[in-house]
């Protein structure tokens, strides 16, 4: 085997972001970058080194090798500073990333140097089990997979469990496991099992500073009918004192208030957070979401115009602040505009402009067609055209969450049997591949 082939073989055997990556589109990479930006870079974040590692990889995939190298080096420095040591098993993924980056840049001597560093760390810090990865690698792999969409969240939870069993003093790994499971559960038809609820309670007890876990636990207890309003109010005040982050616990707390029918409390909380941090785009995004829930939760009349106007204002700001991932925000704004007496024409034109876009991937098209179908059905009462857009969403392969939702809507239409289009819809459904029907 030639030297270059041996080097490539060693690189491919590494456990790092360059070997974990799934096939991703540019829009998915941009979405992942937005996720990382909204997590924040507070020094107290246990996962800060992992944030910089994934950020570096995303930047490389987006074509910015220089910035990628800068973030990989920030990951190295952060991990060393947080662990108060110059070397440890927590550097293996980072060194693997640097080995790959220098290889892609044609800097083979530097690549070889990092390959040697990985081998040295493996010898000095072997895994407790010969058949498994080092727990530090499992943990970072799990944390990364959590950002690769719902299909990887259960796998991430399994990796977290493996790492935690080998190193049970790392309570942050257990907390992240229950966050991954709770996130995956958003797509389940059933609630959380008693065993998972017990895991969440245990994680909250072992990691009391993790307010996200606390919010998840409260949300699930509220779902089960427990009285948690007072605890929610106390938790909300604690969250306000924390650095702004998508893992502060604010969003699951908002969802709890929504379930409790207390959207006004959620709006007050997000507005108070914005008063404290007026320039934080994540808080504007959370506030816009609360207002959207409020506006779309009932048929707005003239007395609600102030709420609608605030919702429109926030959504317009959020679109400007998230230029690389604004499709969902533009769709939300169109739905909100449709509730305004002055915005109905604007809403229709917004959807037409989105439908005319040519750079949407298959998942984005399913999302757009599903939402346009809902708009046609509920705002324009054009049910037949609405059904056609549900079909356009459902026929796209591979079906995403919204494609599957479209299938379910079409199935319900046929079950009711009230539409003249039922025979056409039944024929359409019969022709669809059934591999990913749920």
Instruction: Categorise residue 45: left if φ over 0, alpha if ψ from -120 to 50, beta otherwise.
Output: beta
- Is the Cβ–Cβ distance between 180 and 146 less than 8 Å? yes
Give the model's pLDDT for residue 299.
Answer: 46
Give the model's pLDDT for residue 300.
Answer: 44
Domains of the chain from N-terminus onward: 1-126 (1.25.40.10), 262-353 (no CATH), 360-438 (no CATH)
Give the model's pLDDT for residue 22.
Answer: 66
CA 289 → CA 103, 255, 311, 431, distances in Å? Answer: 43, 10, 8, 37
Tokens of 393: 């969403």
How far apart, in whole angstroms, are the C-alpha atoms of residue 283 and residue 263? 16
Q: Where are the beta strands (DSSP E) in 101-240?
A: none
Q: Using the 8-state DSSP alphabet, how is residue 134 labeled?
A: -
Tokens of 191: 């609630």
For 149, phi then psi, to 5°, come to 95, 170
Give the model's pLDDT for residue 303.
Answer: 44
Give the model's pLDDT for residue 266.
Answer: 97
Give the model's pLDDT for residue 302.
Answer: 47
CB neighbours of residue 325 within 10 Å: 16
How far apart, in whole angstroms, are the C-alpha atoms of residue 69 and residue 53? 10
170-175 long-range contacts, Cβ below 8 Å, gap at least 24?
A: 170/135, 170/139, 171/203, 171/206, 171/207, 172/46, 172/47, 172/207, 172/210, 173/135, 173/139, 173/142, 174/199, 174/202, 174/203, 174/206, 174/207, 175/203, 175/206, 175/207, 175/210, 175/212, 175/213
Give the model's pLDDT for residue 221.
Answer: 93
Give the model's pLDDT for residue 41.
Answer: 93
pLDDT < 70: residue spans in the chain: 1-3, 22-23, 187-191, 298-303, 434-438
In whole numbers, what is the pLDDT of the chain averaged over residues? 93
Q: Which residue has the tokens 């110059």?
A: 86
């Amino acid at each position: 085997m030639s030297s270059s082939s041996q080097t490539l073989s060693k690189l491919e055997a590494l456990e790092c972001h360059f070997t974990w990556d799934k096939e991703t589109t540019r829009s998915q990479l941009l979405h992942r970058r937005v996720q990382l930006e909204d997590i924040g870079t507070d020094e107290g974040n246990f996962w800060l080194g992992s944030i910089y590692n994934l950020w570096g990889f995303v930047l490389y995939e987006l074509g910015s090798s220089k910035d990628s190298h800068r973030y990989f080096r920030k990951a190295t420095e952060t991990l060393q500073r947080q662990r108060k040591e110059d070397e440890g098993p927590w550097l293996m993924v980072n060194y693997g990333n640097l080995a790959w980056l220098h290889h892609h840049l044609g800097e083979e001597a530097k690549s070889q140097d990092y390959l040697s560093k990985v081998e040295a760390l493996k010898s000095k810090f072997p895994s407790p089990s010969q058949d498994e990865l080092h727990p530090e690698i499992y943990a970072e792999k799990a944390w990364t997979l959590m950002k690769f969409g719902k299909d990887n969240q259960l796998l991430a939870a399994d990796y977290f469990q493996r790492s935690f069993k080998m190193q049970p003093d790392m309570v942050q790994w257990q907390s992240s496991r229950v966050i991954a499971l709770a996130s995956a559960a958003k797509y389940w038809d059933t609630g959380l099992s008693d065993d998972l609820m017990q895991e969440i309670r245990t994680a909250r007890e072992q990691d009391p500073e993790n307010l996200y876990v606390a919010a998840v636990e409260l949300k699930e207890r509220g779902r089960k009918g427990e009285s948690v309003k007072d605890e929610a109010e106390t938790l909300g005040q604690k969250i306000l004192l924390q650095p702004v982050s998508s893992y502060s616990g604010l969003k699951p707390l908002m969802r709890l208030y929504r379930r409790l029918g207390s959207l006004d409390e959620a709006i007050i909380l997000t507005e108070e957070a914005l008063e404290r941090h007026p320039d934080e785009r994540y808080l504007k995004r959370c506030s816009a979401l609360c207002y959207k829930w409020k506006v779309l939760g009932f048929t707005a009349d003239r007395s609600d115009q102030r709420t609608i106007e605030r919702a429109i204002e926030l959504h317009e700001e959020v679109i400007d602040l998230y230029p690389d991932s604004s499709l969902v925000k533009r769709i939300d704004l169109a739905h909100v505009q449709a509730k305004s007496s002055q915005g109905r024409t604007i809403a229709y034109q917004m959807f037409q402009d989105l439908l005319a876009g040519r750079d949407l991937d298959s998942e984005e098209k399913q999302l757009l067609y599903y939402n346009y179908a809902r708009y046609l059905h509920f705002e324009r009462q054009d049910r037949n055209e609405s059904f056609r857009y549900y079909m356009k969403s459902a026929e796209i392969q591979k079906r995403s969450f919204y494609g599957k939702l479209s299938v379910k809507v079409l199935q319900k239409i046929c079950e009711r049997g009230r539409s003249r289009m039922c025979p056409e819809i039944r024929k359409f459904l019969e022709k669809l591949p059934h591999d990913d029907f749920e």
